[in-house]
Chain A
Amino acid sequence: MSKELLFKYVLTLGDDALILGQRLSQWVYKGPFLEEDIALSNISLDMFGRANLFLEYAASLKGSTTTADDLAFKRNEREFSNHILCEQPNGNFANTMARQFFLDAFYKLFFEKLAESEDEQLSAIAQKSIKETTYHFRHSSKWVIRLGDGTAESHEKMQSAIDNLWMFTDELFEMNEVDNNMLTQKIGVDCLTIKAKWDQIIDEVLSEATLKRPENIHMTSGGREGIHTEHLGHLLSDMQYLQRAYPDAEW
Chain B
Amino acid sequence: MGHFLPSNHSSKANTLTMSAVQETAFQEKIDAELKIEAKDWMPDKYRLHLIRQISQHAHSEVIGMQPEGNWITRAPSLRSKMVLIAKVQDEAGHGLYLYSATETLGITRSELIEQLQMGKAKYSSIFNYPTLTWADMGAIGWLVDGAAIVNQQSLRRTSYGPYSRAMIRICKEESFHQRQGYEIMSKMSNGTTEQQEMAQDALNRWWWPSLMMFGPADSESAHTSNAMKWKIKRGTNDDLRQLFIDRTVKQAELIGLEIPDPDLKWNPKTKHYDFGEIDWEEFWEVVNGNGFCNKERINNHIKARSEGQWVREAALAYSEKKQNGV
Contact = CB atoms under 8 A, between A and B. Distances in A.
B318 interface: yes
Contact of B321 (A147, A149, A243): A149
Interface stretch (B80-88, B202-210, B222-230): B80-88
Interface stretch (A111-119, A150-158, A214-222): A150-158
A9 B72 CA distance: 28
Contacts of B92: 28-29, 34, 37-38, 41
B78 A69 contact: yes
Given A154-B314, A246-B195, A48 B85 contact: yes
Contact of B78 (A35, A42, A52, A93): A52
A41 B96 contact: no
A45 interface: yes
Nearest to A25: B72
A92 B93 CA distance: 23
A26 B72 CA distance: 8
A26 B309 CA distance: 19
A238 interface: yes
A72 B233 CA distance: 47
A29 B77 contact: no
Contacts of A28: 65, 69, 72, 85, 88-89, 92
Nearest to A246: B194
A58 interface: no
B81 A25 contact: yes
Overall SS of chain A's interface: helix
A89 B89 CA distance: 21
Contacts of A145: 318
* Listed residue (A44, A157, A238) with the most chain B CB atoms within 10 angstroms of its CB: A44
Overall SS of chain B's interface: helix
B76 A48 contact: no
A157 B308 CA distance: 13
B311 A154 contact: yes
A146 B314 CA distance: 7
Contacts of A34: 62, 92, 95-96, 99
B317 A151 contact: yes
A18 to B, nearest CB: 8
A162 B195 CA distance: 45
B310 interface: yes
B317 A150 contact: yes
Contacts of B305: 32
A123 to B, nearest CB: 22
Contact of B318 (A36, A38, A72, A146): A146
B191 A250 contact: yes
A251 B78 CA distance: 10
7 contacts: A28-B85, A30-B307, A69-B78, A92-B307, A149-B321, A248-B192, A251-B134
Interface of B: 62, 65-66, 69, 72-82, 85-86, 88-89, 92-93, 95-96, 99, 134, 184, 187-188, 191-192, 194-195, 300, 303-305, 307-315, 317-318, 321
